[in-house]
Structure 1
């Protein structure tokens, strides 16, 4: 193998190419790790969000049941007060 002429342009040796490929591969491995952590965090957030939605819906049901009970008791109390007042 002959060495390139000095005015032939840029020469990148196989060792330099290998070093660059390894550097890029290491960066990709770190990036994959970060993405895995982000996806795991998002999955946990979705589970937490689903739990919050379920709890809020349960509270809404209880609130409307309490409102309904208050209406019934208020109406019954008013009718009872009319009977007693006569």
Structure 2
């Protein structure tokens, strides 16, 4: 009866080794996935920071452009007054 028990013990040991190897492979795969996830999160954080900086720069450029634009309403009024003045002058000069 020692032969079947010995064979069972050997098979159990082989099974134990196979399970340990499988767990080691799964553990390694999970480590790789965690590293990739961490890198992806870092890349995403950097991308957000860069995008926010670029958006802030664009906002400041737009504000600068708004500050330097010509006030069209005032220019229209000045042009109208100048046109009326030249018309009045031309009427009185004749």
TM-score by length of 1: 0.77
Structure 1 moving runs of 4+ over 6 Å = none
What's 1:37 paired with?
A: 25
The answer as to 2:86 corresponding to 1:72 is: no
Q: Superposed, which structure 2 residues align to 1:41-56 within 5 Å? A: 41-56=29-44
Unaligned ranges ≥5, structure 1: 1-12
RMSD across aligned positions (CA): 1.8
Decide which structure has greater helix share: 2
What's 1:7 paired with?
A: none
Report the number of matched residues.
74
- 2:14 pairs, out of 26, 32, 40, with 26
Q: Which has the higher contact order (CA 8 A, sep 6+)?
A: 1
What's 1:16 paired with?
A: 4
TM-score by length of 2: 0.71
Could you say what secondary structure the match of 1:82 adopts?
A: coil
Flag the structure with larger Rg. 2
